[in-house]
Amino acid sequence: MQISRDDRVRMERAHVLAWPALNTAVIDGWLWRSSGGGSQRANSVSTIDFHGADLEAAVIEAESRYRALGMPARFQTFDETSPPGLADLLRRRGYRQSDPTTTMFKRAQGTGTVSDVEVSDHAWPAWRDVYLGEVTENRRATNGLILDRIPAPRAFFGCHRAGEIVATALCVVSFSCAVIECVTTRADARRQGAALSVLTALEQWAAQQAVDWIGLQVVTGNTPAVTLYERLGFVAGATNNFWVGR
């Protein structure tokens, strides 16, 4: 499957929009993000575009903004980060690299049907209970606020079993890409096909949104999740890294 540079950049832009940080600033084209809580993405600098003349000065400004909040500086890089020398500079400044994530791609086609999935344009209470109940405690409050800021077009998916929501997913569309977020299955309902149901319904919805790619980001070392997505036809197309400073 051919995944071009343009595809990788568009997908990264779509991921940034799909999970909006609570506070942002632009630094020479980069998007500085701060939200509190434990989310790396919502508390890091997105490095898709850089228009500055002094790379180190831009890094120092980002560090200063995080320092003022009592937070460590974080940068998110990917295969097409601008400028390409950022990772080397961060290493020289003593940043450490955390677990990488893989961006996976699939052509939008929408095959398969399901009857046990509810779809809505908002995160209803039962959906929130399942999703927020499965994320780490230090992310719950922040993620709950971010859910209220998800841009349209969007759809929230919940799989019903015995009258209860047991699995969730979210799809957000931009840049002709459909981004998958919030894939969660309640602990007592795992390995029963609920995640497959919400993802099948999500792909059906995405195929109707005039997108060419469906994408998601998953921790590279999360073998069960990667295996599930590969079984559904997703392929690895880019690597993201988070760099944590002082």
The answer to whether 59 and 95 are in contact (CB under 8 A) is no
- The reply to whether 160 falls in a domain is yes
**What pLDDT sits at residue 13?**
98
Instruction: Give tens-digit pLDDT for 95-126.
Output: 999 889 999 999 998 777 788 999 999 999 99
Residue 189, pLDDT score: 79
Domain count within the chain: 2
- 218 domain residue, yes or no: yes
In a domain, 136, yes or no: yes
DSSP per-residue codes, 28-57: TTEEEEE--TT-SGGGSEE-S----S-HHH
Domain residue limits at 234: 105-239
97 and 121: one domain?
Answer: no
128 and 17 share one domain: no
Select from 106, 107, 44 the least CA-distant residue to 81. 44
Residue 75 pLDDT exceeds 90? yes
Q: Which of 46, 66, 101 is the last residue of a domain?
A: 101
* Residue 59 token pair: 């890094």
Kind plus residue range of the DSSP H or E element containing 243: strand 235-244
| 129 and 217 share one domain | yes
pLDDT tens-place string over residues 125-159: 999 999 999 988 989 999 999 999 999 999 999 99
